[in-house]
Amino acid sequence: MVSCARSRELPHIDSQCPGGDGEFVDQGDVHVAVGVLAELEPAAYQAMLGLERYLSSSSLPAPLRELVKLRASQLNGCAFCVHLHSGRARNGGEPDERLFSLVAWRESPFFSKAERAALALTDAATRLGSDGVPDDVWNEAASHYDDRQLAALVMTVATVNAWNRIGVSTRILAGPQRPDGDGR
């Protein structure tokens, strides 16, 4: 029987889960770290993975997708997702100065107008106000991306927000843990 109790420890991952070796295993664009959910809701979990696979083939540039995922993860406070997407962005060639300044992208000189438009849309769609995404934010993004890219951007933001909510609500830990519990 699988326990669904929330804890500060990694969720149950065993031979019944994808990967089966207790490590975070790459499944398309998402690491399997939510073994309990994968076991108890396999169809829903596979649908999420399917969204990731589909979006990875979109015309939205991969580096931008990772920046968007990292930014939404920062806003949502998902430590696991911040760790995951900052590592993927770095492995994809993003320089540290851009990764470090993403949290203050509005004041940073390291992002293009198109990237700023995507990040503004990410911020607005992640922190929805009572009026939704402001027209000026949408229109600026639409001036830099074609309809398909804009749709992929919206779906990327929606999908990473769903993963963030899974990560935060199940308290998945980021990165390797020190035996003494000291994260430094």
pLDDT per residue as tens digits for the range 80-124: 999 999 999 999 999 999 999 999 999 999 999 999 999 999 999
Least confident of 15-29, 31-45, 84-98, 117-131: 15-29
* Higher per-residue confidence, 28 vs 52: 52
Determine phi and psi for 114, rounding to 5 degrees.
Answer: -65, -45
SS3 of residue 129 by DSSP = strand
Close Cβ partners of 116 (under 8 Å, ≥ 6 residues apart)? 105, 106
Provide the CA 93 distance to its chain's centre, in angstroms.
18
Name which of 137, 139, 165, 141 is nearest 153 in CA terms: 141
**Residue 117: exposed, middle, or buried by beta-carbon count in 10 A (0-12, 13-18, 19+)?**
buried
CB 164 within 8 A of CB 171: no
Six-digit token pair at 18?
Answer: 């994808």
Q: Which CATH architecture has domain 60-168?
A: Up-down Bundle (1.20)
pTM score, whole prediction = 0.79
Q: What is the pLDDT of residue 53?
A: 93
77, 131, 132 from 135: Cα distances, Å: 26, 10, 9
3-state secondary structure 71-87: HHHHHHCCHHHHHHHHH
Per-residue pLDDT averaged across 23-48, rounded?
65
